[in-house]
A and B are shown apart, each in its own frame.
Chain A
């Protein structure tokens, strides 16, 4: 691999080359840092580049190999994290202006430590919507994160830098968070894969909360196998997160190439069809691919999702506002104007609405589990549209204009509301922006969703594609 372009190499491919001694982790890291320096100004995905620490970490990987020790399954693989992860030496800004006055983190988040223990090399922290209350990738403090496939368009949020950096070849793996869709909306808009594991699967220790009841962490990648490698490296209970399940790791990589078997696939109609928009055709494309693989398709009634989405909205609005109440009282003027009004509103909601939302959440889980009596997986669009232009404020769905920010995740919210695992897969149609499709599984069945995503990618039904971004310096010289 020495001398060849690493830009679109998979994490699995990089690790194999590093482990075999055909390239050093130091060289991989140096090349990705160079590419970040050249290309990131076009998309604004990174807020911090930890170059010096990254090169030191890479040297440690190379030293392990030289000493005959196993460097780990992600040896030398560069990765980056949404800037709500604690990174030792950096204030955990979580997309805000207010947090950057906090003292620097004294240690890395647990998931960063686990990735590093597997040999991966952290290269930086990534842009995000303020306090994760975002689906657009816009940020008044750090600037909008732009879509590598068309820099006039949104990256999606709130894990905006993750979707953009991974799509642009600046980080084969990135780690983000998802409360209502923030791992899935940017994956959809930027045309990459993401895994939102089951709620409670991966520990959130050392990350800045948005909505404790709904927050998940997970990886982005350009290939399902890379998702599985990162996921396996990060599994396991940690006492620092009260919601982290006491389950032993259930590795996904060993079964990734197994036959998917006689899958029963559910396609929700009704409310999902009404608001599926352009995503419906992408979901149908994935469903046809599964049918060619031998799956049985059936329509399922999941209209209870509308109430699940409403419950997620109210729990999010109220719980996040309560979490930020002191900051809203003292520094409301320092919030991003696009999140401030929503946080303020959340602090004013009647408690009875939120208590009922928690009951409806449990009711919606029961309805969803009933659907899983008849199917193994659900196929649902991740977003109703591909990436809108930066600055767009309204979204027309089902013939009615809606405010864009709270609406663009309406197809993802129902599933994070009840914590189901979801792999988002990218669909590209000729000449069009990408759009993602959710593969939704039963609780704790991440391995099945990943296996199906891998089979779809192997058959060419889904897959990431290199974007056509222009290196800013070269563009300037060309003018």
Chain B
């Protein structure tokens, strides 16, 4: 993943979400971000129809004990 080699994305994203990344953790984090990028590429190859919008989690309100008309 050449676009990740310089770590610029990792540094920016970690700063954005407020995650402290020690220098010794960065190579491992970079490997796992690259692995995730590979998974995202697999998903990109799926030809999804625009009508396929089923998403999870589904937000559902609970039944209420005092339901009235």
Task: List A residues at the B interface (Cβ < 8 Å).
Answer: 212-213, 239, 242, 304, 306-307, 310-311, 313-314, 317, 325, 328-329, 332-333, 340-342, 344-350, 353, 355-363, 403, 406
Contact = CB atoms under 8 A, between A and B. Distances in A.
A310 B55 contact: no
B40 A356 contact: yes
6 contacts: A242-B60, A344-B28, A356-B44, A358-B56, A359-B54, A360-B48
Given A213-B57, A362-B55, 6 more contacts: A310-B40, A310-B42, A325-B17, A341-B25, A345-B36, A353-B36
B6 to A, nearest CB: 15
A363 B40 contact: no
Given A313-B36, A341-B25, A348 B31 contact: no
Contacts of B22: 332-333
B8 interface: no
B46 A307 contact: yes
Contacts of A304: 46
Interface in B22-38: 22, 25, 28-33, 35-36
Contacts of B29: 341, 344-345, 348
A314 B46 CA distance: 15
B1 interface: no
A361 B36 CA distance: 16
A346 B36 contact: yes
Q: Which 5 A-B pairs have the closest CB atoms?
A: A341-B28, A345-B32, A362-B54, A310-B42, A310-B39
Contact of B56 (A213, A328, A332, A345): A213
A149 B50 CA distance: 51
B66 interface: no
A213 B28 CA distance: 26
A357 B36 CA distance: 11
B54 A348 contact: no
Given A345-B33, A348-B29, A328 B19 contact: yes
Contacts of A242: 60, 62
Interface string B42-53: 111110100011
Chief secondary structure at chain A's binding surface: helix
A162 B55 CA distance: 33
Interface in B3-26: 9-10, 13-14, 17-22, 25
A348 B43 contact: no
Given A314-B43, A347-B17, A403 B52 contact: no
A213 B52 CA distance: 19
A334 B42 CA distance: 33
Contacts of A353: 36, 39-40, 43
A317 to B, nearest CB: 6
Contacts of B46: 304, 307, 360, 363
A358 B55 contact: yes
Contact of B52 (A307, A333, A363, A406): A363
Contact of A363 (B28, B31, B48, B62): B48
A293 B23 CA distance: 59
B19 A329 contact: yes
Contacts of A340: 25, 28
Contacts of B52: 359, 362-363
A406 B30 CA distance: 15
A313 B33 CA distance: 12
| Of B20, B25, B43, most A-chain CB atoms within 10 Å | B43
Given A307-B45, A359-B52, A342 B60 contact: no
A344 B19 contact: yes
Given A307-B43, A325-B17, A361 B56 contact: yes
A343 to B, nearest CB: 9
A3 to B, nearest CB: 54
A314 B35 CA distance: 10
B57 A212 contact: yes
Contacts of A239: 62
Contact of A347 (B19, B43, B54): B19
| Of A346, A348, A358, most B-chain CB atoms within 10 Å | A348
Nearest to B33: A345
A307 B17 CA distance: 28
Nearest to B57: A213
Contacts of A341: 25, 28-29, 31-32
A329 B10 contact: no
A333 B19 CA distance: 12
Nearest to A330: B20
